[in-house]
């Protein structure tokens, strides 16, 4: 056998051994480079930190309800410089509300008037009033409500700020406080449509739709439903500035039979009066006016 033939035979044996070998294949390394693992770990840490910060600043509703953020109490002295500055800041925020500006710029704006309940209420009466006295101050009802009323007295929009000191569960406004505010705002619409402009609550029904968070402006909407003699039925709602309905309400108010014996001037001052005309007297207190030539209404 020639040398060429021997070489071919050897090459054939080697190649045959490669094709039919039963030895395990060399291991395949699947480990990633170390720098990729470092980047993945760093990304997870950054994402977790960012998520924690966002949840702390903008907590989901269930978390903010169950675990409200701690807040300092209101200033101790209502007439202190700190309190006055706080109230002035809220008043500026109120006047700058986009919803209020939009209402003032509507084509039908001339069909409405604005008033501030309790703003001209006598001090000797204010101190014994719940919403004008006991609940008035920084952290509570810090500024007077602003009411936009249709001139025919059929509906109104009440802008009011609810402070942290009005809570039941921390961070959530007490449901009883909301009932009080609805009772007063619904009463204003009802009483304005009763013959003698005096009325008392006969029925108040509430439907709480969502928690009302503290430290925010809300809008209370009222609308007259029906007036029959001495009885007026009104509906209304509490909404946040995004239009979310927080509380719904209906109420019936009745004019007492002795209404004609009552002087309604102070009630009108408490509710907030339409802009005074030249022919209408300015009453200082029950039984007093500036112009003796005018008769009490």
Phi, psi of 165 (to 5 degrees): -80, 10
Per-residue pLDDT, 121: 80
Q: Which two tokens stand for residue 101?
A: 């500006």
How far is residue 193 from each of residues 196, 227, 258, 294, measured CA to CA in Å?
9, 7, 17, 24
Per-residue pLDDT, 82: 87
Which residue matches tokens 């927080």?
246
Q: Which two tokens stand for residue 55?
A: 């949840």
Tens of pLDDT, residues 77-97:
777 888 889 999 999 999 999
Which residue matches tokens 């739709």?
209
Q: Which of 151, 158, 234, 244 is nearest to 199 (CA)?
A: 234
Categorize the per-residue pLDDT at 99 as very low, low, confident or very high, splitting at 50, 70 and 90. very high
Average pLDDT over residues 243-247: 97
Are the C-beta atoms of residues 72 and 82 closer than 8 Å to each other? no
- CA separation for the pair 114, 112 (Å, rounded): 7
| 154 has a pLDDT exceeding 70 | yes
Q: Could you give the 3-state DSSP secondary structure of residue 184? A: helix
First and final C-alpha spacing in the chain: 141
Tens of pLDDT, residues 34-45:
666 666 667 766
Per-residue pLDDT, 219: 98
Categorize the per-residue pLDDT at 285 as very low, low, confident or very high, splitting at 50, 70 and 90. very low
Phi, psi of 102 (to 5 degrees): -65, -40
Are the C-beta atoms of residues 151 and 47 closer than 8 Å to each other? no
Supply the DSSP symbol for 66. Answer: H
Which percentage of the chain shows pLDDT scores above 90? 48
Q: Decide which of 172 and 291 is more confident.
A: 172
- CA separation for the pair 116, 161 (Å, rounded): 13
Per-residue pLDDT, 216: 96
| 263 has a pLDDT exceeding 90 | no
| 199 has a pLDDT exceeding 80 | yes
Q: What is the side-by-side strand order in the sheet with 112-115?
A: 112-115, 146-150, 155-162, 216-228, 231-240, 245-254, 200-208
Q: Which of 95, 102, 248 is nearest to 161 (CA)?
A: 95
- CA separation for the pair 148, 6 (Å, rounded): 112
Q: Which of 140, 199, 149 is nearest to 174 (CA)?
A: 140
Are the C-beta atoms of residues 113 and 151 closer than 8 Å to each other? yes
How far is residue 169 from each of residues 66, 135, 230, measured CA to CA in Å?
9, 17, 39
- Whole-model pTM: value is 0.69
| 122 has a pLDDT exceeding 90 | no
Torsional sign, CA 195, 196, 198, 201: negative
């Amino acid at each position: 056998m020639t040398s060429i033939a021997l070489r071919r035979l050897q090459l054939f044996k080697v190649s045959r051994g490669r094709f039919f070998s039963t030895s395990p294949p060399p291991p395949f390394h699947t480990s990633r480079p170390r720098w990729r693992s470092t980047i993945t770990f760093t990304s997870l840490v950054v994402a977790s930190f960012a998520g924690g910060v966002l949840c702390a600043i903008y907590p989901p509703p269930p978390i903010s309800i169950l675990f409200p953020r701690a807040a300092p109490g209101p200033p101790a002295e209502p007439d202190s410089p700190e309190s006055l500055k706080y109230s002035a800041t809220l008043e500026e925020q109120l006047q700058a509300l986009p919803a209020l500006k939009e209402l003032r710029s509507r084509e039908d704006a001339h069909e409405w008037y604005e008033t501030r309940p309790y703003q001209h209420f006598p001090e000797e009466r204010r101190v014994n009033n719940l919403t004008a006295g006991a609940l008035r101050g920084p952290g509570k009802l810090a500024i007077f409500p602003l009411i936009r009323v249709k001139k025919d007295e059929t509906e109104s929009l009440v802008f009011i700020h609810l402070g942290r000191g009005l809570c039941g569960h921390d961070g959530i406004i007490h449901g009883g406080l909301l009932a009080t505010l609805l009772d007063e705002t619904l009463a204003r619409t009802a009483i304005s449509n009763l013959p003698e402009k005096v009325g008392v609550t006969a029925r108040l029904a509430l439907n709480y739709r969502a928690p009302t968070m503290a430290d925010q402006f809300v809008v209370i909407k009222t609308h007259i439903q029906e007036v029959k003699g001495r009885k007026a039925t009104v509906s209304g709602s509490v909404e946040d500035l995004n239009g979310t309905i927080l509380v719904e309400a209906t109420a019936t108010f009745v004019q007492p039979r002795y209404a004609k014996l009552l002087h309604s001037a102070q009630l009108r001052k408490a509710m907030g009066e339409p802009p005074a005309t030249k022919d209408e007297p300015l009453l200082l207190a029950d039984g007093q006016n500036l112009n003796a030539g005018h008769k009490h209404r």
